[in-house]
Each structure stands twice: as structure tokens, then as C-alpha cells.
Structure 1
Amino acid sequence: MLTTLSIRNVVLIEALDLEFGAGLGVLTGETGAGKSILLDSLGLALGARADSGLVRSGEAQASVSATFEPPAPDHRAARLLADNGIDIEPGEPLIIRRTLKADGGSRAFVNDQACSAALLRELGGALVEIHGQHDDRGLLNPRGHRSLLDSYGRCDTGAVASAHAAWRAAADKLAESREAVEIAARDRDYLTHAVEELSRFAPEPGEEAALAEERATMQKGARLADDLSAVTDCLTGSDGGLAQLRQAARRLDRIVSEYEPLADVLAALDRAVIEAGEAEDRLAGAAEALSFDPARLDAIETRLFDLRGLARKHQVQPDDLAALRDDMAAKLAAIEGGEEHLAALEAEVAARAADYARAAQALSAARKGAAARLDVAVAGELAPLKLDAARFRTVVAPLEEGQWSAHGMDRVEFEISTNPGAPFAPLVKIASGGELSRFILALKVALAEQGGADTLIFDEIDRGVGGAVASAIGERLARLARTNQILVVTHSPQVAARGAGHMLIAKSSDGTVTRTGVHALTDGERREEIARMLSGAEITVEARAQAERLLEV
């Protein structure tokens, strides 16, 4: 609900702060007093096109702030703000502010957080509906008619949404599987050859590193074999160093028995023989470790070359060849069992489509029943509003299958015919602003609490009517105000008398500057204003008495 509106430097308004309450609020004033400026100011705050002509002459910029009660968490406005990353503390009022520079630049804010004009426009539509001669939102927008009808008829759309989701999921799975099978089938020959080739080769993860290490070891052995052989020859054999050491030690052993001082030399020779023997053993071990089979080395190099060649061919790492083989084998298996699998998926899609069709047809039937009831309800409101020659109908028409959605298989639109024999047409095609506003009122009364913004503004809904019709309009506005905040700009005393609050819009001038102001009327001032609306420039006793009677209704 709109609670306050602050306007600065908009056309004839220098500074204006207004407070609004619940129920039906009326705004009256003489023609040219500035009622349209007030609505233009509110429209600017709600995201209307920024026209630099709204900036008061001589001022650098204009600004308008509109404050609303805190929206409920599930309110469309709250969801919009959350989706766009604008945070509002629980219980905090919603403040929309728009500034407009004289050069045409504008900025928008929600609780002092900058936002785009597009978001402001969408947010404004969720908070306020303004119904006037040129309004093309609210009930005039066919995109909202289906949800309004569903709310009015309490049509359960959940089953259709669930069935549609299941149908789409099955269809997506079928499409993915069909594409996979088609791609695999095109590559059947390639896959068959590749799987056979890889299976024959039988690559294993880690094989490249093992082969490369074994080859490096063998190549090292080939380089060191001759040197090891020469070193071994120096130590071993009848003429080798170790044999000479042993022979020297035996001879020295005989000498030591006769010449004791050489015992230390014999001990050194014995140690040399022992260490030379250990060296011989280690050389033998090294030679064995570095020994290689040329045929084995050739086989390793061939295997390693082929392994790396296959990896390059399939554009993978050598260690990934085994996994590639398994993946290709799985694709081949999918080709073999593909048609059977696709047939099962096609049956699933058909079953889910049938479920959706049943749910959607039941929803269509419920909508048609609700449409018939709504048509009767609206028809009952037309005659008292001097629209007795008009006809209203709710069109529930089937959509093409390609347009079926989670909302069902129906197109819903409100249509009217304003004269006998005239064809039905969308609400937005109505030429007369007064007729359009009264149609909107009839629809709003019939729909009661079914969706829409919390605040509704009717601009001169009583244009061109009076007497009983004006009374009927006032009575219906008051009825609608039980569940919504209603603001109405009116020239009708019958409508004005129904208001819970009354504001007078007046223009004043000091000879040099003209200003528009708004004044909340007391009970006595309100009686005088309604009497003026009844009698014109000169307020008569009869007019005051009639005003009293209207206020007592």
C-alpha cells in the first residue's frame, strides 16, 4: 500500500508531501488544477518514461519519492527485489525514488540502492495499477489474464506443471540418447577398427614409463659393458691382478717364517687379496645387472614406438589408451542396443505426454468453467455502469502443441464488444477512455482479490456519466476498497462522497509564480467541496444539503 508521496520541482509543484491511508481515497479539483501533474509525478516514480519537460522551470532537477508498506516475502515486488540483488530488511518500508535532470538524465533508487529504470518499471507495476485513458498495463495486458482466471476459478495448475516437467525431462533424455546413437552409428566403422586395433595392442596404464625405464637401463648397460669387461679382465684370469696378489702373498708367507719383520707386509697383502676379491664379486654383480638382450631391447623400442604412435593417432596420452579403448567399446555396445533403448525411451516420452495431456485437459475444463462464471459476474456489473449494451467474454482457446507449457495448453484473453453486433476485441482496443475505465472497474469488482497490485488508481473513471451511474461507480469503488487501496481522480460528487479520505488539488498564483498544491480536507471542507462539485462556482444551500445526503450514504 502507498503510504507517502513526496514531490519536488515537478512542473507547477514546488514541494509537496502527501500521506495516504487504506480504503478509498478521492482527489478532486477544478479542471486545470494539476491532477494530471500529480499522476505524472507518481508515474515517474514508478518507472514511466523520463520527460525533461516535467522539471519545474528554472530548476536543475526534479525528484519524486514514493513509500510503500513492507511487502510480504511472497509478494511479487519482494521476489523482484531479491532476484535483482536488492536487500530490504524485514519490516522495512519500501522507498522508491526517481530523480530527473533538466537535460533529461534520470536515476532510480530503491531504499537508496541504485537500480535500472527497467527494474523500476517492473517493480512499479507490481505495486500500483494506474487505469486511465492511455494505460496499457494491468488488466489490459493479455499476458496476465491466464493467471487471473486461474486465481478466480481456483484452478490447480500444480499437476500440469509437474506433468510438463516430467514430460520435458523424458523428451530431453530421449533427444540426448538419440543424438548419441546417431553420432556413434556414423562412426561405426571407425570405432570397430579402433577397438580391434587397441584390443590387439592391449595398452596398459603406466606401460610407457616402465618401457622407457627398462630401455634406458639396457642402453646404459650397452655403453658400460666393454669397460666392465676390461676391468674384470685386469682382476681375473691366471695373469690378472688378483692372481698375482695371491701368488705374492704365498711367497711372502714362506719368507716371513724366516724373516719376522715382513709380517706386516704379509698382513697388508692378505687385506688386499680380500678387498680385491670383494671388488671382483661386485664387478660380476654389476655386469649381470647391466647385461642386456639385444633382441629384448629391440622389442622394447618397437613397443614403445608403437605405443606413442597410437597415442598421437588418437590424440590422447599413452596412459589413456586403455580407457579410450573401453569408451569406444561402450559406444559400440550402445549402437548394438541403441534401437531397443530408444524404443523404451520413446515409450516413456509418450506416457509422460499422455499424463500431461490429461492434466492439461482437466485444467482447460476448469478454466472454461471459471470463464463462464467470470463472464456472468462481469455482465452483472456492466449495466449499472452504463455499459448495458456491451458484452464481455473470457476466451479460453487451445494453443499449438509447440506452445504448450507448464501453464497448460490454453490461451486466455479478456475481450469485449461495446455495441450490439460489433465484433469482440481485446480490452486494449477500446477507444473510449471512460468506457475502458468502467470495464476495468467491472472486472476488478468481479475478480475481487484475485491478483494484481495492492494499490489501484482510477483516473476520471466517471468521465461522461453522472447520476445513478456515478453512484454505481462510487459504490463499486468503495466495495473494491475493502481489499485494496483505491485512489480515484474524480469530477463526480457521488464518487467523491464514497471516499474514506478526500484531497483537494488546487492551483494558486502570487502574480509571478503559479503553484499546484494538495490539501487534505476536513469533514466540513469536504462537504463544501462536494457542494461545489454539485452546484459549480456558487455554492447554494440546496447543494450543501445534497452534499450532506451524499455523505450520509
Structure 2
Amino acid sequence: MLLNLTINDLAVVQSLELALEKGMSVLTGETGAGKSILLTALGLALGDRADSGYIRPHSKRAEINLEFDLSDAPLAKTWLENNELDHENQCLIRRVISQDGRSKAFINDRPVTLQSLQDLSEKLVEIHGQHAHLTLLHNDEQRRLLDDFAQNQGLLEQLQACHQKWLNTNKSLKALLKANSDKAEREELLKFQIEELQQLDLDHFNYTELTEEHSQLAHLGEILTVGHQQLDVLYENDEMSIHHLLGYSINALTDLSRFAPALESVSTLLTEAHIQIEEASQQLRRYMDSLEADPKRLSWLDNQIGIIQNLSRKHQVIPEQLPELAIRLDEELANLTHSSERIEELSAASVALLTEYRKLADQLSEARREGALKLQTQITTMIKELGMPQGDFMVRISPFEDETPRQQGLDKVEFLVSANPGLPPKPLAKVASGGELSRISLAIQVTTSNDKSTPTMIFDEVDSGIGGGIAEIVGQKLRRLSHNRQVICVTHLPQVAAQAHHHLFVAKNNQSEMTSSTVSQLDEQQQIDEIARMLGGVNITENTLAHAKEMLMTGKNEP
């Protein structure tokens, strides 16, 4: 369950820390007091998209922190363990939004992606927004609610995995069939290209060595000329070579070192240089002796490099990648040669996967039909309690017109309702008025939530369009829903507020230059005053206070 919510510099909230408890908590306050920003903060902390517009003016960043106790959240606990983010029996979520519009998310003080945060959040909190009845009009949402109620998630995941394998297999099969249609022409082209590449002796192919050898042979005259000149300068000129002159200097300084010992180190360095020059000269002479003009080799290198560069341009690769290209072409040729066998394999795999898919889809359809019978019975009972005594709710499951495999199965799920006796059930969008749709939506949300493992449920003004005795029943339903989970409800209805175990009041502070919102937990007398305000508006009489007290006492006596 959610233990704490902390907000800093988010919209009208400068700083707020809210402790939450088990059971049913309501959030009330004047219109515009900031109740919605609390739900916004929760949504952002749980993975909603963020931008800098949420940051309080003159602030650098906004930050939301949530603390959860995982005693009643085994799925979340398992997820954290599997992702190596667990920390004892608690979960800390932090979301920071910066002025540049970027945001960072943390789970137990470790940075995570937004997708990871969303994956975890759905195992901790379920939010029912005030516009849920509009979403309810879509068939995809109706199917999702039915599958959640019937606990079809495991079967649905198997079906989706099978469907994805079938799609991948069919994609490969179609590509192979298309390639096979011009197989002969492609085979001839591949053979020709491979033969072209094989003339390069690919087993011993080294483009760098070829270009280096070509450069040496092409510049042989310059190498020989300069090489012999430097050999003469370094060593072979008996009178003026560097080696001869250094020897003279060494002898002279060695004689002087008898009178100036400090010159011994200079003489030593020159002796080392004298030896190195001799060694370098010998190495240069050996290299020069090894050089030999080879016009035929140079001509062959010219031709080979030309072929390599032409093939490189033709295949749009660098010369060094030509051996890799030859391997790829060989593999493609081998695949084409064995394409008939591969086509047979893929065709058989596609048929097997389709058979498995239809088997799973049939099981899912049966599970949906069983779940639909229970769901329509429970919702019909509830909408009668919510002021539609003649209401009748029905879930219609029908196959799609074509049998193309779909990710969600082969069923079209549609919620139907009849508000008056004698009239056949029709789709929600065509029958229900605004008030009726709100009641039906609430009945569906409460009914489909009964068997869920989500430990915290939030209802944001889902009771709009409802009043009087019906509102009291709504409050009772939400209170009963909180027996095995935490329920947080934003409401304007005193009948709902009176049913809460805990009452939180949101107020707007206009005393400073910048508006801010605060939240406080009400004691019993403050609850009576707030319910009286919700009942009577500006002028609160003794009768209003007495009515509020009676409502609160009645709510506390609810099981």
C-alpha cells in the first residue's frame, strides 16, 4: 500500500508531505483547491509523461516521492527481485522533472527507465480517472476489462507469444517466397559476383600489404638515390661521413678528459651515438642491397589494385571489406540453393503455429464466455442498486467477420445495456445518458476491481453525475472495496466522504504572492464541518451540522 506522498515545487504545491493509511481515504476541498494536482503528482511518479510546464514558477525542478509497503503487493515484490531493485519490504519511487523538460526516475534510489517505472507501477496502483466512462465506450477497453475480471492474463500472454511467432514465421516465409520467384536470375548473378571476387585470392587477401609493396616498387628510383646518398653521409665517406667526424670528436674529447673529467660523460654519449650510427648504416646498406627493380611485379600490382578498387566501387564497400562480402554472397547462394527445403520447413511451422494459436484462441473464447456470464450478473445487480432498477447489463462475445489471427484473440467483446424493460440491450454509447453512463462505469470499475491484486486503487471523481441516496450507496461500495486494499477517492459528494475511514482536506493558500495548496487530515469535528460545507455551501446551519454528524456516524457503522 502507499504510505507516503511527498511533493516539492509541482504546480500550486510548494512543499507537501502526505501520510496515507489502510482502508478508504477521501480527498475533498473547494473547486480549484488543488485536488487534481495530487492525482497529477501520483501519475507522474508512476510513469506519466512529463514536461517543464509542471514545475512551480521560479523553481529549478519538481520532485515527487512515493513510499510503498510491499506486504500486500507480492507481484511488485517479485518484479523488484527479478530486476535486482528490491530493498527489504519497501519500495521508494522518485521522479524529478527539470526545467529543460527532461525527467529522471528512480526505484529504491537506483535510476530506471520510464518503461521500467510503468511496468512496476501497474502492480502497485490502479487509477480510475473521472473520464473513465468515456474510455469505457471503446471495444478494446471492454475486452480488457473482461479479461482482467476473468483473470485471463496468463492465457492471453500465451496467445500473444504464439501470435508473434506466427507473424515472424510468415514474414520469413513471404520473404523467401518472393526471393524464390526470381531465384534462377539471382543465382546466376551471385555466381558471377563470387567468381569475380575469387580472382583476388581471398584466402591471402591483404590490401594494406599490396598497396605498401606497390608504393615501394613505384618509388624505387627515389628510394635508391636518397638511400645511397644518406649511406655515404652517414658512414661510407671516409673523410666527411658523420661516423668519421664523430670518431674524431670522441678521440679529441677523450684526450681532454684527462684534464677535464666532466667531459667523460659527453664522450660516453658520443661513443653511444657512434655505435648507433654504424648499426643504422649497416641496416640501411642491407635494405638497399635487397632492393631490386621488378617491372613485371609492379605491373601485376597495378592491375590487381585496379581490380580491387573497381570491385570496391561496384559493391559499394571499402577494399578491406571484400572478403566479408564474398562470405555473405556465398551464404546467400547457399540459402537460395536450399530455399526449397527452408520453404517447406517454414510452411510446416506456420501451419503448426496457426493450429496452436486457434487452440489457445478457443480456450480464451471459452474463458471469456464464462467470465462474461459472471460479470454481467454482478454488474446488473450493482446498477440496479445504483438507481437503475430496470437496468440490464449484458456482455456480447462474437467472432470477427474474418478469421485473421489477432494479438488479442478472435473475439469481439461488446458491453450492452437496457435501461428500461421491454427494450433490447444496445451498445453503451447508443443507450445510456450521461448520468446512467457514470453509474454503469462505476459499477464496472468496482466489480472488475474486486478480484484484483493491486493493493492501492484511486478513484478521481468517478462519482460525478450521481447524487442523493445513490451517492450513499456508491460510498458504501467504495468502503467495502477497501476491506482488502487501500482506496483513495477524490470526491465532491458528502455521502461518499461520510463513508471514509480517513478524511483529507485540500485547501488553497492565497496569503502569499504565489498561490499554494496544502493537505491536512481532519479529526472528527473537522470532518463534520467539512461534510456540512459540502452539504450546505456558504451558510451552514445547525440542522446542516446535525445532518453531517448523522451521516458521519452512519458511515462509521458501515461494515
TM surpasses 0.5: yes
Aligned amino acid, residue 479 of structure 1: R
Percentage of pairs with the same residue: 24
Secondary structure in 2 matching 1:22: coil
132, 146, 150: which one aligns with 2:147: 150
Secondary structure in 1 matching 2:34: helix
Provide closer, same or farther for how the CA distance between residues 172 and 67 of structure 1 changes in structure 2, counting only shifts above 3 A.
same
Aligned amino acid, residue 459 of structure 1: E
What is the alpha-carbon distance in structure 2 between the residues aligned to residue 454 and residue 23 of structure 1? 10
The aligned length equals 450
- 1:552 and 2:547 matched: no
| Equivalent residue, structure 2, for 1:40 | 37
| Equivalent residue, structure 2, for 1:439 | 441
Contact 2:439 2:466 in 1 (8 A): no
Provide closer, same or farther for how the CA distance between residues 545 and 497 of structure 1 changes in structure 2, counting only shifts above 3 A.
closer
Instruction: Say what the alpha-carbon RMSD is for the aligned residues.
Output: 5.7
What is the alpha-carbon distance in structure 1 between the residues aligned to residue 373 and residue 22 of structure 2? 32
1:117 Cα deviation (Å)? 8.3
1:184 Cα deviation (Å)? 3.4
Offset from partner CA, 1:66-118 (integer Å, 9 cap, x none): 41306668449968x96xxx9664545323345587xxx65544347778889
Provide closer, same or farther for how the CA distance between residues 533 and 383 of structure 1 changes in structure 2, counting only shifts above 3 A.
same
Contact 1:126 1:452 in 2 (8 A): yes
1:27 Cα deviation (Å)? 2.7
Matches within 5 A, 1:98-497: 108-111=103-106, 128-134=125-131, 143=140, 145-155=142-152, 156-157=155-156, 159-161=158-160, 163-164=162-163, 167-168=166-167, 170-172=169-171, 174-175=173-174, 177-179=176-178, 181-188=180-187, 339=340, 342-343=343-344, 345-388=346-389, 392-399=393-400, 404-412=405-413, 414=415, 423-425=426-428, 432=434, 435-436=437-438, 439-450=441-452, 454-459=456-461, 461=463, 463-467=465-469, 469-497=470-498
Offset from partner CA, 1:151-173 (integer Å, 9 cap, x none): 42243335534543553464355
Provide closer, same or farther for how the CA distance between residues 116 and 418 of structure 1 changes in structure 2, counting only shifts above 3 A.
farther
Contact 1:46 1:123 in 2 (8 A): no
Aligned amino acid, residue 94 of structure 1: L
| Equivalent residue, structure 2, for 1:229 | none
What is the alpha-carbon distance in structure 2 between the residues aligned to residue 115 and residue 157 of structure 1? 27
Q: Which moved more, 1:3-12 or 1:33-42?
A: 3-12
Offset from partner CA, 1:204-242 (integer Å, 9 cap, x none): 96799xxxxxxxxxxxxxxxxxxxxxxxxxxxxxxxxxx
Q: TM-score, length-normalised on structure 2?
A: 0.60
Provide closer, same or farther for how the CA distance between residues 8 and 141 of structure 1 changes in structure 2, counting only shifts above 3 A.
farther
Contact 2:5 2:65 in 1 (8 A): yes
What is the alpha-carbon distance in structure 1 between the residues aligned to residue 65 and residue 96 of structure 2? 9
Contact 1:471 1:494 in 2 (8 A): yes
| Gapped regions of structure 1 (runs ≥ 5) | 209-303
Offset from partner CA, 1:482-537 (integer Å, 9 cap, x none): 23321223344432232121223445776999765433123444355446656660
Secondary structure in 1 matching 2:21: coil
What is the alpha-carbon distance in structure 1 between the residues aligned to residue 324 and residue 61 of structure 2? 70
Provide closer, same or farther for how the CA distance between residues 127 and 330 of structure 1 changes in structure 2, counting only shifts above 3 A.
closer
What is the alpha-carbon distance in structure 2 between the residues aligned to residue 527 and residue 411 of structure 1? 49
83, 91, 94: which one aligns with 1:93: 91
Contact 2:124 2:456 in 1 (8 A): yes
| Equivalent residue, structure 2, for 1:69 | 68
Aligned amino acid, residue 424 of structure 1: P
Provide closer, same or farther for how the CA distance between residues 149 and 75 of structure 1 changes in structure 2, counting only shifts above 3 A.
farther
Aligned amino acid, residue 444 of structure 2: A
Secondary structure in 2 matching 1:69: strand
Contact 2:163 2:357 in 1 (8 A): yes
Provide closer, same or farther for how the CA distance between residues 50 and 485 of structure 1 changes in structure 2, counting only shifts above 3 A.
farther
Contact 2:24 2:486 in 1 (8 A): yes
| Equivalent residue, structure 1, for 2:5 | 5
Aligned amino acid, residue 34 of structure 2: I
Q: Which moved more, 1:453-462 or 1:43-52?
A: 43-52
Offset from partner CA, 1:367-410 (integer Å, 9 cap, x none): 23322321222111111112446554445454576963454333
Contact 1:504 1:519 in 2 (8 A): yes
Offset from partner CA, 1:278-311 (integer Å, 9 cap, x none): xxxxxxxxxxxxxxxxxxxxxxxxxx99999999
Provide closer, same or farther for how the CA distance between residues 180 and 466 of structure 1 changes in structure 2, counting only shifts above 3 A.
same
1:465 Cα deviation (Å)? 1.3
Provide closer, same or farther for how the CA distance between residues 464 and 159 of structure 1 changes in structure 2, counting only shifts above 3 A.
closer
Contact 2:2 2:69 in 1 (8 A): no
What is the alpha-carbon distance in structure 1 between the residues aligned to residue 435 and residue 402 of structure 2? 37
Contact 1:46 1:120 in 2 (8 A): no
Provide closer, same or farther for how the CA distance between residues 458 and 15 of structure 1 changes in structure 2, counting only shifts above 3 A.
same
What is the alpha-carbon distance in structure 2 between the residues aligned to residue 196 and residue 54 of structure 1? 66
1:474 Cα deviation (Å)? 1.6
Provide closer, same or farther for how the CA distance between residues 530 and 125 of structure 1 changes in structure 2, counting only shifts above 3 A.
same
Aligned amino acid, residue 163 of structure 2: H
Provide closer, same or farther for how the CA distance between residues 463 and 54 of structure 1 changes in structure 2, counting only shifts above 3 A.
farther
1:479 Cα deviation (Å)? 1.9
Provide closer, same or farther for how the CA distance between residues 52 and 511 of structure 1 changes in structure 2, counting only shifts above 3 A.
closer
What is the alpha-carbon distance in structure 2 between the residues aligned to residue 5 and residue 161 of structure 1? 36
1:477 Cα deviation (Å)? 0.3
Aligned amino acid, residue 446 of structure 2: K
1:25 Cα deviation (Å)? 0.6
Q: Which moved more, 1:6-15 or 1:20-29?
A: 6-15
Q: TM-score, length-normalised on structure 1?
A: 0.60
Contact 1:24 1:478 in 2 (8 A): yes
What is the alpha-carbon distance in structure 1 between the residues aligned to residue 190 and residue 179 of structure 2? 14
Provide closer, same or farther for how the CA distance between residues 359 and 10 of structure 1 changes in structure 2, counting only shifts above 3 A.
closer
| Gapped regions of structure 2 (runs ≥ 5) | 207-300, 316-321
Aligned amino acid, residue 68 of structure 1: E
Contact 1:108 1:114 in 2 (8 A): no
